[in-house]
Amino acid sequence: MLRHFLLIFVFTVVCLNCLGQTKENITVEFFNDYKRNPIEAYEKLFANNKWVNEKKSLMETNKIKLKDYLDQLGKYFGYELIAEKKAGESYVLKSFLVKYERQPVRFTFIIYRPSDTWQIQNFSYDDDIDTELKEASKVDRLRDNL
C-alpha cells in the first residue's frame, strides 16, 4: 500500500512539473544551474528539444567555444533581464545581461511552445551591448529634439 502511494506521488509530482513548465522556468532553471556549472547548464538547456539534440557535434563545438569564452571573463556576478519580446503567445525572446568581472555578456533565449510544453528554440550570446547602447542613445537624442 505504501509502495503504491509513493509511486503515485512520484508520478504526480513528475507530471505536474511537466505541465507546469513555463518560459520563466526555463531561464530560471538555466541560471540556477549556470552559477554552479555554466557548461552543464548549457547542455541541460537543450535536453527537451529533440530537434537540437540530433546535432550533437554542433552542440559539442558550441560548448567548447562557450567554455573558452567564459574562461576569459573572470568571476561571475549574476544576471539581469534586459528585454522580453513576444511573437504571439507561443514564441518568446528573452534577453539577459550576464555580469562578469571583465565585462557583461548578453544571453538571448528564444523559447517556443509548439503544444503544451515550452522548449528552448535558440540560444546565443554576445558582448555587443555597448555598441547597441551607443546607437540607442543617438536615436533617443534625435527623438527628444523633435
Domains and CATH numbers, the chain: 18-145 (3.10.450.630)
- 107 pLDDT above the threshold of 80: yes
pLDDT at 14 over 60: no
Lowest mean pLDDT among 59-63, 91-95, 116-120, 136-140: 136-140
pLDDT of residue 19: 40
pTM for the complete prediction?
0.75
20-24, 105-109, 126-130, range with the lowest pLDDT:
20-24
Whose cell is 539577459? That residue is: 96
> What are the CB-based long-range contacts (under 8 Å, 24+) for 28-36?
30/109, 31/79, 31/96, 34/76, 34/79, 35/76, 35/78
